Structure 1
Amino acid sequence: MLKSLFIQNYALIDTLDIRFEPGFSVITGETGAGKSIILGAIGLLLGQRADCKSIKNGMSKCIIEAVFDLSAYGMQEFFERNDLEFDGKECIVRREITASGKSRAFINDTPAPVSQLKELGEMLIDVHSQHQNLLLNKENFQLNVIDILAGDKDELQQYKRLYTAYRQAEKALQQARQAAEQARTEEDYITFQLEQLENAALKTGEQEVLEQEAETLTHAEEIKLALYQAENLLDNEQNGIVNVLKETTHLLDNIGKVYPDGNELASRMESCYIELKDLAGEIAGRTEQVEFNPERLEYVNERLNTIYGLQQKHRVDTLEDLLRIEEEYREKLNAITHSDEHIQALQQQCDQALESMKKQAGRLTSLRQKAASVVERQMKEKLIPLGIPNVQFKVELTPKEVPDETGTDKINFLFSANKNGQLQPISQVASGGEIARVMLSLKAMISGAVKLPTIIFDEIDTGVSGSIAEKMAHIMQEMGALNRQVISITHLPQIAALGSTHYKVYKEDHAEGTSSHIVQLDEKGRVEEIAHMLSGTTLTDAAINNAKELLNQSYRK
């Protein structure tokens, strides 16, 4: 629960440092004194959007810091999951906003993103402002109330997982159908293209071989002449290099007996002779192999033209790309051929996912129906003492036309304040005061199901007065007695008198401007404040006596 709140340079607040007590507390003050400013500062701690305009004029930044006692609320998991320090007892939340528009958040002095602050804030404080009464006509709010009281969090999470799985299966089925339909319109085109590529009988590496062969056939006569001339230079009978080497070898060999180095030179020369003799023979063989073949050249050129044409048609540069495209067309045709089987398998998966989702939705509906009966009974029990003796309240559950992530149930709170009145949606028939009482009753039930440390009611008593206000205060007292903190911002003396702790917000004018302050009232201060709430600016003996009587009654109770 909220132990203390520190605010500096925020709106009309210079410095505010106040401690809060457990149980039921009240905050009073004239309209415009700064109660909404304090709520705004708390909102920043809960992760609401920061605005540099909220910084007090002339200041460079504002700071809002709160200390919470969490020893009784089992929040260790949040801090461990987010790698935040936590001693198991206190948590310090701070928000800083600079005039340049920058915002920083800290949890136990560790920088934290605003999303993390918001997640923690939802576990720390529930601020019920007047505009929240408008939520009563929102289906999602009504459904959320039933889910909280049904305690179906795990079942709902399981349903959401199954719902997501169903939607994914449904999407996959739809995509497969669209793809199959699109493919069927292209089937003739794909078949034609594949047949053309298959008829070409392309082979890996074929293009390079054909291009080289075309070059050779095109220059066959030129090549043959060059080879013939090379062979003749090497091995003609008169002055061919081979014969000259042979004679040179003999000369060196003959002087080997009288000149020992001649043997070595002769050996080396003989090696050259053997190598060139062999080379001349190989050139002669190549000369015989090379011949001009117009028919073969025509075939090679036609084959290359086929390959080049396909490359140009499919806008690729290599034969390997054509082979890849051919395989892709083959796979597409295969997919078209087996698309019905694929769609049938996906349809089966989708049907199974839908059936699992429906079964889980049925479990949710059952839990919600049980919770709805409890809500109907408890709402009557709470609203009758609050001045609606003939109240009728019904939670209507009807199937949704299309399931969504919350389930298949549509929730509608039906209400009538009259004994024989026709039940209608609560937002259409309930007055402002009746809606306030309904919301307080719902919050009281929710607070019993959720371990929320602090609940702040901002003028929940709008539209009520007298004994009804007193009874609403008693409900808030009971909520505050269940190991939680309830703070009510009120203008009604009947509610103010029942708070175990009383705070007053007031404005003060000075040379530099106007400042808002909050103080905890002592016994005398409470009497005077409640007397002012009864009689206005001028204190009368009657108002003071009435204030004392209200306080004495609250103490006796």
Structure 2
Amino acid sequence: MLTELRVRDLAVIADVTLPFQPGLNVLTGETGAGKSMVVDALSLLLGERASADIVRPGAEKTIVEGAFEFAAAVHRHLLSPFAELGVELDEGRLVLKREVLREGKSRAWVNGSPVTIGVLSEIGSLLVDLHGQHDTQSLLRPDPQREMLDAYADADVERVAVRDAHARLKDLEQREAELTTRQADVRKKADYLRHVLQEIERANPKLGEDEALDVEAKRLAHAEELGRLARELEEAVHAAGLTKAQKILASLLRVDPSLGKWQELLDAAFAGAAELAQAARAYASDIEADPERLQTVEQRRDLLFRLLQKHGPTIADVLAARDSAARELELLDTADLDLRNIAAERGKAAEEFTRATAALTVKRAAGGKKLARAVNKLLPALGMPEGHFEVSHSPLPTPRRDGAEAVSFEVELNPGLGRRPLARVASGGELSRLMLALKVVLAAHDVVPTLVFDEVDQGIGGEVGGRVGEALVDVSREGRQALVITHLPQIAVYADQHLVVAKGKKGGVATSDVEVVESESRVKEIARMLGDADMATARRHAVELLRTASEKSASQPGRSSRHPVASGGCPCRHPARSPQPGHPGASRDRSSPVPNDTCSDRAAASNSPR
């Protein structure tokens, strides 16, 4: 979940650090104070397209940084998708950073390493759902809708079976298509392949044969000259003057016996000369002109040369061409049988795929009806008394790896206007409340840890606002987190953490600041939202709303520790932050009471006529 958001030089925001907590975080403030700028900053951090006009006047760039921490279950779920994106989670922590320069360029980092905006957007979709004026809601897209329905319908086994059966069927279809194509190609060139095979087999070339024939042809073509030169070499060796060298060395040895090693060298020279003379004599006697043999060699060389030109450049390539032609011709003999076997396997795989998709369709149909009933039960309380939600299942022309139907979440907000996909719901407020209803119902199956609602209170008030607040409490239970921007006190009173955005001036430039409010400050903000922060009636009403919200929250499963009502004394105990409110993930003291003067006001109000 998001633990801290720092925004610098974004429109009216100079430098603000917002601490967030698990549970329901509410942002309030005067109209135009810059509340939506916080959501804009978060959307930038999550990869939304940026323009240069968001940079605060006088600044060089806008900087948004966010720190996230994850519970163990969420951490395990995120490991695989983050690994695919090349992102490592540092002990369940993640820090995102985005800069937008005045000239319009944008840069992003994850845990200090630069990433593309595309990767940042993919990461953002795993971390936060934005509902309101932004297009990043995961439940507006067909794939997340289908996946959420499958999870709600407990169809994981059926979905995996469809995926595996589809993969098996597609593999067989691909093999069949490839073999059929190869068979057709071989048939087209069968005559040529037979000619290649017969031509090479008749020639029967051997590795290295061309080189040996080259040497033999040269010897036969120059036989007379080679014989003459060999005989001259033999005579030259005998007349090499080694005998004279022996006499001279004998004279040297008589004077200097230490030159005895030279005798060994001379003896070796005598032996080498004799061996060379014998080899030259043998060569001269063996070589002779043979015109018939020369003609045979040249014909063989011509044959090999033609083969090398067609299939070369080496004998090894020629032999490879022979083997390839043989294999392709063999395919003509075996392809029909192989195709029949593959067709039989494909038929069985298709039947299995059909059974798997049918089972998944049944699960989806039942889950869709159950989901629709659960959502429709919530819509009246959320200000849509005539709203009707349905899960549409449209059969596909061809079943896919994700099933035989397209899944779409559709809604009819007014009778007679017909159902429309969620993405085409015009009102941002209605869409936000629809998403809230879905999130309440699907909470156990939703793995996105942080939800942001920007327009959830649009067009509602009074009791409906309170019901929306209760629903927001529901979706922010058990380690999840919701961030809500609201104008309604009926929603704000349910906050686990209440932040107020206020606009002022610094250096002649409009500036928005954010403050965490508690106790008396929170009562004053709720009173302002009711009409007048300084009016006693509004303050008494604010205390009453806070007390009622605290009691309702405490009665909900899993939330008694977040909105405790103290036993005895003042019943208006409300959340107050612990020291160092800016520290990410700081816990809060949930038993700090509303100041006594406020309680006295409430007590007086209870005794006065209404």
- State the partner residue of 1:93: 95
2:310 maps to amino acid: K
**1:510 correspondence with 2:506:** yes
Structure 2 stretches lacking a partner, 5+ long: 247-264, 550-610
- State the partner residue of 1:441: 437
1:181-213 CA-to-partner distances (Å, cap 9, x unmatched) read 223222222222222222222122221222222
The SS at the match of 2:457 is coil
Q: Residues 84 and 184 from structure 1, CA distance in 2 versus in 1: closer, same or farther, beyond 3 angstroms?
A: same
Conserved 8 A contact 1:169-1:346 = yes
**1:367 correspondence with 2:363:** yes
Identical counterparts, % of pairs: 27
* Cα drift, residue 302 of structure 1: 1.5
Q: Residues 422 and 118 from structure 1, CA distance in 2 versus in 1: closer, same or farther, beyond 3 angstroms?
A: closer
Q: Distance in 1 between matches of 2:500 and 2:174?
A: 58
Conserved 8 A contact 1:386-1:472 = yes
Query: Across the two proteins, how many residue pairs are aligned to each other?
Result: 524
- State the partner residue of 2:143: 140
The alignment's C-alpha RMSD in Å is 4.7
The SS at the match of 1:75 is helix
* Cα drift, residue 488 of structure 1: 1.7
2:19 maps to amino acid: R
- Correspondence for 1:450 among 430, 446, 449: 446
Q: Distance in 1 between matches of 2:266 and 2:67?
A: 104
- Correspondence for 2:109 among 105, 112, 120: 105
Q: Residues 25 and 555 from structure 1, CA distance in 2 versus in 1: closer, same or farther, beyond 3 angstroms?
A: farther
1:293 maps to amino acid: D
Q: Distance in 1 between matches of 2:272 and 2:25?
A: 113
Q: Which moved more, 1:138-147 or 1:75-84?
A: 75-84
Which residues of 2 match residues 12-23 of structure 1 at below 5 A? Answer: 12-23=12-23
- State the partner residue of 2:541: 549
Q: Residues 167 and 512 from structure 1, CA distance in 2 versus in 1: closer, same or farther, beyond 3 angstroms?
A: farther
Q: Distance in 2 between matches of 1:133 and 1:195?
A: 67
Q: Residues 227 and 39 from structure 1, CA distance in 2 versus in 1: closer, same or farther, beyond 3 angstroms?
A: same
- Correspondence for 1:205 among 205, 208, 211: 208
Q: Which moved more, 1:522-531 or 1:120-129?
A: 522-531
* Cα drift, residue 401 of structure 1: 1.8
- State the partner residue of 1:294: 291
- State the partner residue of 2:395: 399
Q: Distance in 1 between matches of 2:98 and 2:352?
A: 48
* Cα drift, residue 271 of structure 1: 11
Q: Distance in 2 between matches of 1:544 and 1:165?
A: 73
Q: Distance in 2 between matches of 1:508 and 1:269?
A: 112
Q: Distance in 2 between matches of 1:453 and 1:135?
A: 12
- State the partner residue of 2:256: none
Conserved 8 A contact 1:245-1:270 = no
- State the partner residue of 2:593: none
- Correspondence for 1:220 among 223, 235, 241: 223
**1:479 correspondence with 2:475:** yes
1:216 maps to amino acid: R
Q: Distance in 2 between matches of 1:282 and 1:429?
A: 100
Q: Distance in 2 between matches of 1:21 and 1:277?
A: 103
The SS at the match of 1:167 is helix
Q: Residues 512 and 324 from structure 1, CA distance in 2 versus in 1: closer, same or farther, beyond 3 angstroms?
A: farther
Q: Residues 501 and 309 from structure 1, CA distance in 2 versus in 1: closer, same or farther, beyond 3 angstroms?
A: closer
- State the partner residue of 1:34: 34
Q: Distance in 1 between matches of 2:71 and 2:139?
A: 33
Q: Distance in 1 between matches of 2:273 and 2:521?
A: 125
Conserved 8 A contact 2:430-2:458 = no
1:552 maps to amino acid: E
Q: Distance in 1 between matches of 2:307 and 2:418?
A: 76
* Cα drift, residue 441 of structure 1: 1.1
* Cα drift, residue 338 of structure 1: 2.8
Q: Residues 339 and 103 from structure 1, CA distance in 2 versus in 1: closer, same or farther, beyond 3 angstroms?
A: same
Structure 1 stretches lacking a partner, 5+ long: 250-267
* Cα drift, residue 179 of structure 1: 2.8
The SS at the match of 1:443 is helix
Q: Residues 297 and 532 from structure 1, CA distance in 2 versus in 1: closer, same or farther, beyond 3 angstroms?
A: same
Q: Distance in 1 between matches of 2:70 and 2:272?
A: 98
Q: Residues 517 and 158 from structure 1, CA distance in 2 versus in 1: closer, same or farther, beyond 3 angstroms?
A: farther
1:263-308 CA-to-partner distances (Å, cap 9, x unmatched) read xxxxx99999999899878766655544433332222212111112
* Cα drift, residue 415 of structure 1: 4.4
TM-score (norm 1): 0.75
* Cα drift, residue 375 of structure 1: 0.6
- Correspondence for 2:190 among 173, 187, 196: 187
Q: Distance in 2 between matches of 1:544 and 1:327?
A: 100
- State the partner residue of 1:253: none
* Cα drift, residue 457 of structure 1: 0.8
- Correspondence for 1:491 among 477, 487, 490: 487
**1:129 correspondence with 2:121:** no
* Cα drift, residue 442 of structure 1: 0.8
Q: Residues 171 and 507 from structure 1, CA distance in 2 versus in 1: closer, same or farther, beyond 3 angstroms?
A: farther
1:13 maps to amino acid: I
